[in-house]
Structure 1
Amino acid sequence: MRWVILDTETTGLDPEDGHRIIEIGAVEVVNRAITGRDFHTYLNPDRDSDQGALEVHGLTTDFLQDKPRFKDVVGEFLEFVKEAELIIHNAPFDLKFLNSELKKLGHNELTSYSGPVTDSLAHAKLLYPGKRNSLDALCERYSISNAHRTLHGALLDSRLLAEVWLAMTRGQDSLAIEDEVHPSKNIAPEKRKFFELPLIEVSQAEDEAHEAYLQVLDKASGDQTLWRSLKSH
Structure 2
Amino acid sequence: MRQIVLDTETTGINPKLGNRVIEIGCVELVERKLTGNNFHVYLNPDRDSEEGALAVHGLTTEFLSDKPRFHEIAGQLRDYVQGAEVIIHNAPFDLGFLNHEFRLANLPPFDECIGGVIDTLVNAKELRPGKRNSLDALCDFYGISNAHRKLHGALLDAELLADVYLAMTRGQNSLGMDIEEETSSGGVVLEQVALAEIFVLRASSEELQAHEELLNGLDKAVKGTCIWRTPIS
Asked if 1:159 corresponds to 2:159, the answer is: yes
1:191 deviates by 8.1
Task: State the distance in 2 between where 1:115 and 1:59 align.
Answer: 31
- Give % identity: 58
Task: State the distance in 2 between where 1:6 and 1:142 align.
Answer: 19
Aligned to 2:132: 132
Q: Residues 138 and 164 of structure 2 are in contact (CA less than 8 Å); yes or no, is this contact kept in structure 1?
A: yes
Q: How many residues align?
A: 190
Given residue 146 of structure 1, which amino acid in structure 2 is its aligned partner?
N
Asked if 1:102 corresponds to 2:102, the answer is: yes
Length-normalised TM-score, structure 2: 0.76
Asked if 1:34 corresponds to 2:34, the answer is: yes
Aligned to 2:121: 121
CA distance 1:132–1:187, shift in 2 (3 Å): farther
Aligned to 2:15: 15
Runs of 4+ in 1 over 4 A off after TM superposition: 185-188, 190-195
1:43 deviates by 0.2
Task: State the distance in 2 between where 1:97 and 1:193 align.
Answer: 63
1:186 deviates by 5.3
Per-residue CA deviations over 1:157-176 (Å, capped at 9, x if unaligned) read 00000010000000314253
Q: Residues 10 and 19 of structure 2 are in contact (CA less than 8 Å); yes or no, is this contact kept in structure 1?
A: yes
What secondary structure is seen at the aligned counterpart in 2 of 1:37? coil
Task: State the distance in 2 between where 1:72 and 1:50 align.
Answer: 23
1:177 deviates by 6.0
Q: Residues 11 and 19 of structure 2 are in contact (CA less than 8 Å); yes or no, is this contact kept in structure 1?
A: yes
CA distance 1:61–1:191, shift in 2 (3 Å): farther
1:109 deviates by 1.3
CA distance 1:105–1:130, shift in 2 (3 Å): same
Unmatched 5+ residue regions in structure 2? 178-192, 204-227
Q: Residues 74 and 105 of structure 2 are in contact (CA less than 8 Å); yes or no, is this contact kept in structure 1?
A: no
> Which runs of structure 2 are paired with 1:66-85 in the superposition (5 Å)?
66-85=66-85
What secondary structure is seen at the aligned counterpart in 2 of 1:103? helix
Length-normalised TM-score, structure 1: 0.76
Bigger radius of gyration: 2
Q: Residues 99 and 111 of structure 2 are in contact (CA less than 8 Å); yes or no, is this contact kept in structure 1?
A: no
Task: State the distance in 2 between where 1:187 and 1:96 align.
Answer: 58
Task: State the distance in 2 between where 1:96 and 1:191 align.
Answer: 64
> Which runs of structure 2 are paired with 1:51-66 in the superposition (5 Å)?
51-66=51-66
Aligned to 1:218: none
Unmatched 5+ residue regions in structure 1? 196-233
CA distance 1:187–1:18, shift in 2 (3 Å): farther
Given residue 59 of structure 1, which amino acid in structure 2 is its aligned partner?
L
1:111 deviates by 2.1
Task: State the distance in 2 between where 1:143 and 1:194 align.
Answer: 42
CA distance 1:95–1:194, shift in 2 (3 Å): farther
Task: State the distance in 1 between where 2:229 and 2:165 align.
Answer: 39
1:154 deviates by 0.1
1:137 deviates by 0.5
Give me the CA root mean square deviation.
2.3
Task: State the distance in 1 between where 2:24 and 2:75 align.
Answer: 13
What secondary structure is seen at the aligned counterpart in 2 of 1:53? helix
What secondary structure is seen at the aligned counterpart in 2 of 1:9? strand
Aligned to 2:112: 112
Task: State the distance in 1 between where 2:231 and 2:160 align.
Answer: 42
What secondary structure is seen at the aligned counterpart in 2 of 1:136? helix
Task: State the distance in 2 between where 1:106 and 1:78 align.
Answer: 13
What secondary structure is seen at the aligned counterpart in 1 of 2:172? coil
